[in-house]
Chains A and B, each alone.
Chain A
Amino acid sequence: MALAAVPESPRESLTSAPPRRARRIGEVLLAVENISLRFGGVRALSNVSFDIRKGEIRAIIGPNGAGKSSMLNVINGFYHPQEGRILWKGQARARMRPHEAAKGGIARTFQNIALFKGMSTLDNIMTGRILKMRASFLEQALWIGRGRSEELRERAFVERIIDFLEISHIRHTPVGKLPYGLQKRVELARALAMEPELLLLDEPMAGMNLEEKEDMCRFVLDVNEEFGTTVALIEHDMSVVMDISDRVVVLDYGKLLADGTPEEVRNDPAVIEAYLGVSHG
């Protein structure tokens, strides 16, 4: 991809990340085509099309109310667009509910953290493995046969994620008691536990301080690099977006404003006018 040649951001780099990762970006994993979504008379999305390629980090940006979260909700089945279609690995997808999208390999985090607050970090992440568990009800209840071996196997898997995201010290803490930045990290861990093919992150760095942002950037890059997970993220911090994403979609008032490499988007006059020029001059 031409992306490999994108020069370093002139802005202060948030991460000490390597220069552009030599990553293989594959075929189109998910494509949205002419998506329109209305709530009553309000148009949240109008005729939006773009695609997400395997292995890339795709940013979705735009001013508040541009329809970014609505787009994620369409992709993972919380909303059903009135028009348009969604292609998953080249196949048109039928109307899909969120748990079916999860089964299909789409995991996500939420803008306003949606964790199971009464459960420990470990239990929260374990819920991400629910779809992987096959043992029968009795085997699980009585802790025999597959029930036992499976639980141990999944626990081991989750422990690796816990190590990877450096949250082993809060393993047994109820997540409701954790500070905001760590909650975001646990939410990412839960999504990773699903071993998704496509990871949707809704403002993973919102409300974080600089240090937490740097950590989160590093984790997103590592996930993408080490597991080859495709990432689509909504983010407001432009330096983060320019730093870590391969391609950027810009939405404004529910319409597609621009689509391209960070460099192209940054220099797009329409984008500068609608977004960058205003809040990030």
Chain B
Amino acid sequence: MMTIFRTLFRKELLDASRDKRSVMAGLYYAVGTPLLMCLLFSVLLKQLSSSDELLISIDNANAAPALVHYLANKDIRQGEGAEVKAIRLVVSTDFQQQLQQGRPATVIIDADRADDQLQTAIRRLERELGRYNSEIATLRLMARGIDPQLMQPIDVQMQDQATPDSRGGTFLGIASLSIILTLFYAAMNLAIDTSAGERERNSLTLLLSQPLSSLQLVLAKIAAIACFSMLGLVVILLVSKFTYGMVPWQQLGFNISLDADFMLFTLLVGLPLALLSASLQVMVSFVAKSFKEAQTYVTMVLLVPVALSMVTTYNIAPDHLQWLPIAAQQQAMIGFLKGSAIAMPQLLVSSLLTLAIFAACSYASSRLLKSEKVVFGL
């Protein structure tokens, strides 16, 4: 019994590894995604970190030289050319007069708040203007013999429980998303090839004519595919560790580092998912009538894990979704990276669910293979 299974399994592995293009296609994802992410993150970080000079246009700067000078000391300057952000600071003509009389002197920030690229810059400008405000206000009170701290009846002290490892937020979500999806993309080609492909090559009937059950056949295929999924997982973890280590996260005040513990943890929670991924895609491929049709269906079915992963990444999942496969595993991975507590009940339930789906899909596939319609693709 086990001998037959082992022989089958070996045959499937051999088959799959012979189809180098399919294997490589899966691995391209595992290698390419982290590289792409690393590039993307680096560009994004550059936009988000605002420690460098901010060039804006200032109208009527002569009316408020002290303010302009203050901003310049904070690296916010009037500039010209392509580097200048589309932010215009307009100083009112009576600025100095108003200030001298102790009345509010108006400056206008003219910018598009909906422009994501400007948001950090606008906030920075507002923050510095606020500081200028409080600096002038402090001097005004002191010049009247009043303690400036009277302006602050409540001293609000924030004690942030976050650590550098837990501040990654969305970045952590995207990183874990790309890792989890490997299990699906690395399996895709092989799953189609070993089922719909085998049928089109007419070797499926040959296999079925051997003295073995269709369930054994299906399980052997799934096991082989899952092996390649896990290989993809190992590859993406290694590549991610390397590439994410090169992104200067610390400039934004947080850190994402994938250590060996995290890798082991991910391999562990990823194993049931690899089985689910393989069984699901094999089943869908058998349902399809042809190779091409299988490709279409599998792609469509893959939208489900992507969607589950997305809602987790962007933290828009309702509570009960966190008990579902993929969502719960990804949540656990993020928790692990953050160093916060992992929701064990959710993880356990979803892992069991994952295995249940794997069992159901495998059984369904084996039933399908009992139908001539499926076997001959009629």
Are A and B a genuine interacting pair, yes or no?
Answer: no
